[in-house]
Structure 1
Amino acid sequence: MMIWSRDLGIAAAAVTADGGGWRWVAWGAVGGCLAVGGLWLWLSRRREVRVRVGTVSALAIFPVKSCRPLALTEAACGPRGMSLGPVKDRHWLVVTEQSGAQVTARQEPRLVLVEVTWDSSDAGLLRFTAPGVAAALAVPISLPPTNPVRTCRVFGMDVPGRDCGDEAAAWFTAFLASAAPLRLVHFEDDMEARQLLRMSAPCIPLIAHTPADKVAYSDYSPYMLMTEASMEDLHAKLEKKTVSLRNFRPNIVVSGCAAFDEDSWERLEIGTVRLRKLKRCDRCVLTTVDPDTGVKDGKEPLETLRSYRLCEPTEKHVWGTAPFFGVNFTIERLGVMRVGDPVFRVLR
């Protein structure tokens, strides 16, 4: 006799006296679950609509937080951000020797003048140059295991980093003329990243979705996207035209859309990559640092942005007076994106 499951649409043998039929029923149930799961996935994909919203016009990574970017034509996109070969976005960090507190251009504006280079023919080294410093610095990307792992503090959370050595420490301390000794650290692949759900910022309950949402030394997300149209809109409102996209340090720049269209992009597909929005990017004083001079203005572009890019009054307890400019994303599907790729908004 056969038993037909109306829910699963499968047939299973009736239970026999020796109990062997149970195995057939069990296997039938498993197969049915897989069939239902596959059907659900197929239907959910059919419900998705992809709408082209623009084109990737620029890609960049910032290997050392607050230092200059590396411009890319192609980027491998992983769970903690973009990479160029072994060089990953915001996986190096300057910290104080005594407490391990992060040092960024908020505290040391001249960090934005440090040039970072990597050449595939010289794959083992990350090189640093800076104005007024005669000797370039070369740091191995793969550090000796004998180098100590330091506990660093990034927005109130502990995060590890392997010390890059005394030469790197002396180089950054001297260039920044820091009274307190500094160290350079590197976040390695097997280290424990910061989990968004554990952060204490008021915005976290609004933006963090899964325990998999993690970052190394980035502020809050592994990907930050901006559009040329939004930058042009801001530029038209500024009295001084010295502010550029470089003040805002995006990983992905999109052209071919209207200003602030990006605010509504919940999911994007670029190349083989799928991104999910975390939040609009709330801006701080770092954007007032001139990337060409390393001088912090302290006012623009924040004052102009505050005139038209603040949160709703009901959310002021979360965002305060920080204006929004750009969008923070996490990743749902790893892959590769390139300059020139179409950008699709995924609607469900």
Structure 2
Amino acid sequence: MSDALTLTGLYLYPVKSLGGYAVPEADVTARGLRYDRRWLLVDERNRFMTQRQQPELALLTVAPAYNGFLISHRQRPDLLPLFVPFEATPERTLFVTIWDDMAWAWRATPEADEWMAEALGRPCRLVYMSDMVRRDVEPDFNPEGQLVSFADAYPFVLIGEAALADLNARLAQPVPMNRFRPNLVFGGGVAYEDDNWADFHIGTVPFRAVRGCGRCVLTTIDQQTAIKNPVGDPLRTLFTYRQVDNNAMFGQNVTGYGSGRLRVGDALTVLSYK
């Protein structure tokens, strides 16, 4: 049991697999941090797009703006930033596929689709998940019926700073936290102690660490350049000492039990263990 655990980072990713940004505080909702991964890019078959297949998505940065956010291309100054509101309107709808789920989505404007197609050099559409859509956390680990946005499977990902420091001590070239796209980062304690957590609070907001987060090739993509590490780190190194059931585990998949507001600096209190 460790003391002095503190929330040291809060991150939003308004569009799945595009860049994210840090915020000093954020609201907790039924399906994650407010505004997190509510937008998604889909291809011409309306299937979700991620950096796994399209590493160049890392070149699309996202910055906060009034009532929305701005998307820019790191290597295309000729493309003026695209403003996207936090919420879409139901004027145009379609069904999209994400993993094994089908979800009803609202489309962005034709101008947004054109901007994205120009930025990526291929047809694509930008779509939004409304509050009326129900997408459940994976059922085998979800007796409470928790919801998730367009995130892979869970509404929150939690990582400890000590875990990243331990991993970086094993790498020839350290990597930043953005390789792992957490929502919640905590300081204090020892590396990987969250493997054993069950229920915990951040401030007064309750959460549950459901299972470890299995990592993929996205961790090998430099988020500044979209270039993959040719030797496969940090994923290759994680497999040498964090392998469970043929997955490289790093961080925790987390669900929430209610609403509330988180602030960087909030105390993290562990209530029960697995």
TM range (shorter): over 0.9
Q: Which residue of 2 aligns with 1:4?
A: none
Find the partner of 1:145 among 58, 68, 90.
90
Aligned equivalents of 2:20, 2:266: Cα separation in 1: 20
What displacement does 1:105 show? 0.7
Q: Which residue of 1 aligns with 2:242?
A: 309
Give the TM-score normalised by the residue count of structure 2.
Answer: 0.93
Q: Which residue of 1 aligns with 2:43?
A: 96
| 1:272–1:334 Cα contact (<8 Å) kept | no
1:331 aligns with 2:259: no
* Structure 1 portions without partners, runs of 5+: 1-49, 198-204
Find the partner of 2:191 among 250, 255, 259.
259
Aligned equivalents of 1:144, 1:285: Cα separation in 2: 34
Q: Which residue of 1 aligns with 2:101?
A: 157
Aligned equivalents of 2:154, 2:56: Cα separation in 1: 24
Aligned equivalents of 1:118, 1:244: Cα separation in 2: 21
State percent identity of aligned pairs: 32
Higher relative contact order structure (alpha carbons within 8 Å, sequence separation ≥ 6): 2
1:208 aligns with 2:142: yes
Q: Write out aligned runs for 1:44-123 (5 A).
A: 52=3, 54-83=5-34, 88-97=35-44, 99-119=45-65, 122-123=66-67
Give the TM-score normalised by the residue count of structure 1.
Answer: 0.74
1:240 aligns with 2:187: no
Q: Which residue of 1 aligns with 2:160?
A: 227
Aligned equivalents of 1:334, 1:143: Cα separation in 2: 22
| 1:133–1:175 Cα contact (<8 Å) kept | no
What displacement does 1:168 show? 1.2
SS where residue 307 of structure 1 aligns? Answer: helix
Aligned equivalents of 2:176, 2:70: Cα separation in 1: 25
Corresponding pairs, count:
270
Letter in 1 for 2:63: T
| 1:247–1:289 Cα contact (<8 Å) kept | yes
Q: Write out aligned runs for 1:125-204 (5 A).
A: 125-131=68-74, 132-134=76-78, 135-146=80-91, 148-178=92-122, 181-197=123-139
Larger radius of gyration: 1
Find the partner of 1:290 among 188, 213, 222.
222
| Pairwise CA RMSD | 1.7
SS where residue 59 of structure 1 aligns? Answer: strand
| 2:137–2:153 Cα contact (<8 Å) kept | no
1:89–1:309 Cα change, 3 Å:
same
Cα deviation code 1:189-248 (max 9, x no counterpart) = 122224522xxxxxxx2x2222x222121111101000010000000101122x121100
* Structure 2 portions without partners, runs of 5+: none
| 1:54–1:342 Cα contact (<8 Å) kept | yes
What displacement does 1:53 show? 5.4
Aligned equivalents of 1:144, 1:153: Cα separation in 2: 20
Q: Which runs of 4+ in 1 moved over 6 A?
A: none
More helix by share: 1
SS where residue 103 of structure 2 aligns? Answer: strand
1:229–1:213 Cα change, 3 Å:
same
What displacement does 1:59 show? 0.7
